[in-house]
Amino acid sequence: MSFFSHTTAVIDENSKIGANSKIWHFSHVMSNCVIGDSCNLGQNVVVSPDVILGDNVKVQNNVSIYSGVTCENDVFLGPSMVFTNILNPRSAIVRRDQYVKTLIQKGASIGANATVICGNTIGRYALIGAGAVVTKNVPNYALIVGNPAKQIGWVSEFGHRLKFDKESKAVCPESGQTYVIKNEVVTEMV
Contacts of 156 (CB under 8 A, 6+ apart): 125, 141, 162, 170, 172, 174, 175, 177, 179
- Whether 93 contacts 127, CB under 8 Å: no
pLDDT higher than 70, residue 1: no
Backbone angles phi, psi at 98, to 5 degrees: -120, 20
Number of independent structural domains in the chain: 1
% pLDDT > 90, the chain: 98
Residue-wise pLDDT tens digits, 39-59: 999 999 999 999 999 999 999
| Residue 174 is assigned to a structural domain of this protein | no
% pLDDT > 70, the chain: 99
- Determine the pLDDT at residue 190: 85
| Residue 56 is assigned to a structural domain of this protein | yes
| Residue 49 is assigned to a structural domain of this protein | yes
| Residue 143 is assigned to a structural domain of this protein | yes
| Residue 142 is assigned to a structural domain of this protein | yes
| Residue 173 is assigned to a structural domain of this protein | no
Residue-wise pLDDT tens digits, 78-126: 999 999 999 999 999 999 899 999 999 999 999 999 999 999 999 999 9
CATH of the domain at 63: 2.160.10.10
Q: Which domain holds residue 149?
A: 4-161
Distance CA 78, CA 141 (A): 17
| Residue 178 is assigned to a structural domain of this protein | no
